Amino acid sequence: MLKTETPAQDHALLDQYPTAELVNVLVDDQINAVNAVRAAAPRIAAAVAAAVPRMEAGGRLIYVGAGTSGRLGLLDSVELYPTFSWPHGRAVALLAGGSDAMFVAVEGAEDNVDQGAADLRAVDVSKNDVVLLIAASGGTPYVLGALRAARAVGALTIGFANNVDAPIANEADVGVTLDTGAEVISGSTRLKAGTSQKIALNTFSSALMVRLNKVHGNLMVDLKATNAKLVRRAIRLTAFATGVDEDAARAVLEQCDFHVKTAIVALSKQTNVEQARVLLENARGSVRQALAQ
């Protein structure tokens, strides 16, 4: 039996726990998710290093999963645009059962290996793409089908699994094993297995965006100011990075469609936004390198 499916012996009487103890047990078990990701950190770092050249060559991130794993992949994909201005078309999420499965479980969809391959081929996967394959069991047929189709065209495959020696981790170019063990509620991998996947995906995509010059220092300088909250954030980030007041920051941001990178370079170099854009382009999007020119 898979470790993620094995009943947890420590909590065989879970349904009889007082509510306070029940909540504490469920919360405390999440610590194991953090520990599992920490143990897998070298593999996540290897995945980031392997992915950077593909992204610099114009490749896409393609997330593939079923059930909770697929929904977590989709969540990571959609957050890249507002956080890092990563283009929508370069973050694709494939979920067993299609988009409806985001909201309602589509029973049996995860068991179709051919559909996983077909869905991946339908998005024209190429050798520059990075395919993230996520499955708690590590053997979901839909995800395995996508993995094998990705490898057939030379795409980089990164497999995330919550069981040791799982096919998805073993067959991927970079396997990331998140060994979370048995769940407090036996078999419910939406618990700490899902938490570990969320942490691992957050870590991978955030580290990748740092390597792609989407962050200056530890400031999120390539966000898309698509609402009032993000407009205010863009102003604060620009003011903090340059030392100007918020009115001065807003004035320059209004000239460059609230692109924080451009505003920081323009204010710091005391130049106009057009020249700031040129400096950034020459520096391949690195604020630090643009400021050094």
Q: Are 269 and 289 in contact (CB under 8 A)?
A: no
Q: What pLDDT does 181 receive?
A: 94
Q: Give me the active site residues, please.
A: 79, 110
What is the pLDDT, as a whole number, of residue 108? 78
What is the structure's pLDDT at 115?
94
Q: What's the confidence (pLDDT) of residue 210?
A: 98
> How many whole angstroms from its chain centre is CA 272?
34
Q: What confidence score (pLDDT) does residue 120 get?
A: 97
CB contact at 8 A, 177 and 43: yes
**Residue carrying structure tokens 């003011």:** 239
For residue 68, the model assigns a pLDDT of: 93
Provide the phi-psi class of 62: left if phi over 0, else alpha when psi is between -120 and 50, else beta.
beta
| Torsion over CA: 198, 200, 204, 210 (sign) | positive
Q: What is the dihedral of CA 93, 96, 98, 100, to 10 degrees?
A: -110
**C-alpha distances in angstroms, 269 versus 121, 265, 279, 280, 291?**
46, 6, 10, 12, 7
Question: Looking at residue 269, what is its pLDDT?
Answer: 96
pLDDT values of the chain reduced to their tens digit, one per residue, 293 residues = 799 988 888 899 999 999 999 999 999 999 999 999 999 999 999 999 999 999 999 999 999 999 999 999 999 999 999 999 999 999 999 999 988 888 887 777 898 999 999 999 999 999 999 999 999 999 999 999 999 999 999 999 999 999 999 999 999 999 999 999 999 999 899 999 999 999 999 999 999 999 999 999 999 999 989 899 999 999 999 999 999 999 999 999 999 999 999 999 999 999 999 999 999 999 999 999 999 99
pTM of the model: 0.94
> How far apart are the C-alpha atoms of 214 and 208, rounded to whole Å?
9
Domains of the chain: 3-211 (3.40.50.10490), 215-292 (1.10.8.1080)
Contact by Cβ (8 Å): 287, 265? yes
